[in-house]
Chains A and B, each alone.
Chain A
Amino acid sequence: MIDSFILLTNQISKYIIPFLLVGIPFYGLIFKKIKVYESFVDGAKDGFDIAVRIMPYLVAILVAIGMFRASGAMELFISLISPFLNAIGFPPENVPLAIMRPLSGSGSLGLFTDLVNEYGTDSLFTKIGATMFGSTETTFYVLAVYFGSVGIRKSRHALIAGLIADAVGVIAAVYICKIIFI
């Protein structure tokens, strides 16, 4: 059962990007009469802006984590936490991202970039990291901005619920990737 399910998801995932690349312009052009070429170019311009905007954050995080790794502190950190984490099957390599994710969007983007840089896009750690990135949010930041914008000071149970959701997202990312990619 599980095997055929994995086979099916692998088949589907092959078509996701081609489907989006053809489906979205098709819908825009045929049904909505959008000038799809102009829209595309207009949106594509932002690619450069975003790359320039994230650059200082990437330098800050990748330098810090790169030093941490080169000094041997990362090995030490991983060997300290792995006895506990191995028992539940959680890869220690994904711990920094899991901790950073609710705190900072740019920080967690930096740590995810570090996974891609260190292990490559085909490694399980990177795939788990990418899934974590998509299934959790920068809870502290979102709550501060949204509640701050209307002057709410007593946030009641919003923070705890948000952090529970983050924890579930992080743990789900690990086990779902392990089921599908191993």
Chain B
Amino acid sequence: MLNYIWFGLILISVVVGTITGRIDQVTEAAISMSKTSVEIAIGLIGIMALWLGIMKIAEESGLINIIARLIRPITIKLFPDVPSDHPAIGSIVLNMAANMLGLGNAATPLGLKAMKQLQSLNKQKDTATDAMCTFLAINTSSVQIILPATVVGLMGASSSQIFITTIFATSLSTVAAIVSVKMLSKMDRFKLDNSKELT
């Protein structure tokens, strides 16, 4: 998909540039933007180093565990078909806590572990359970308190304003994810076919 979008952009640019007589500018843009990209990336190093340094302290002082403890009671309610003392709940809350702090690298292994543990509760190994769908819907809705380092790097001091707007927007998208995943799971199209359980 991305391959077609990327090629499409370049193809359309050359075609439209030829028609509008701006082909020189198109060439110029290609050359200057490749240079600009590297300058931008280099310019990010300082702010990202600052941010990743601070977030490393957060990681090592166990901030993930504190957030995990806070969201655990809500999480248990969201996964009614997972026993509250099952290890999957622990992995799910840790994954969500890491995502909230913008620690993507820490979040992914925890999320994959959660999937493995949810799969152990699954009776139809090739079909997603309600719990898996809920987990991934929340995960893809991006629950975020701390912005990712790349966004902070690009926005610089202006990123302080984005923290608040992101918390509002991400809360709404997470609520939408939970409501829609719960409603969709009751629709006939998506209902689990329990008759297949024994095969």
Name A's B-contacting residues (CB within 8 A): 9-10, 12-14, 16-17, 20-21, 24-25, 27-28, 31-32, 34, 36, 39-48, 50-52, 54-55, 58-73, 76, 100, 102-104, 107, 109, 112-113, 116-117, 121-122, 126-127, 130-140, 142-143, 145-147, 149-158, 160-162, 164-169, 172-173, 176-177, 180-181
A67→B154 contact, CB < 8 A? no
How many A-B contacts at CB < 8 Å in the complex? 353
Q: For residue B184, which residue of chain A has the nearest CB? A: A157
Name B's A-contacting residues (CB within 8 A): 1-2, 5-6, 9-10, 12-14, 16-17, 20, 22-23, 25-26, 28-30, 32-34, 36-38, 40-42, 44-63, 108, 111-112, 115-116, 118-119, 125-128, 132-133, 136-137, 139-142, 144, 146-151, 153-166, 168-170, 172-174, 176-177, 180-181, 184-185, 187, 189-190, 192
Q: Chain B at the A interface: mostly helix, strand, loop or mixed? A: helix
In the bound complex, how far is the Cα of B163 from the Cα of A162, in angstroms? 22
Identify 6 new A-B residue pairs, CB closer than 8 A, beyond the known A17-B160, A134-B170, A165-B140. A66-B32, A71-B16, A102-B140, A121-B155, A151-B125, A156-B128
B190→A173 contact, CB < 8 A? no
In the bound complex, how far is the Cα of B48 from the Cα of A65, in angstroms? 24
B54→A20 contact, CB < 8 A? yes
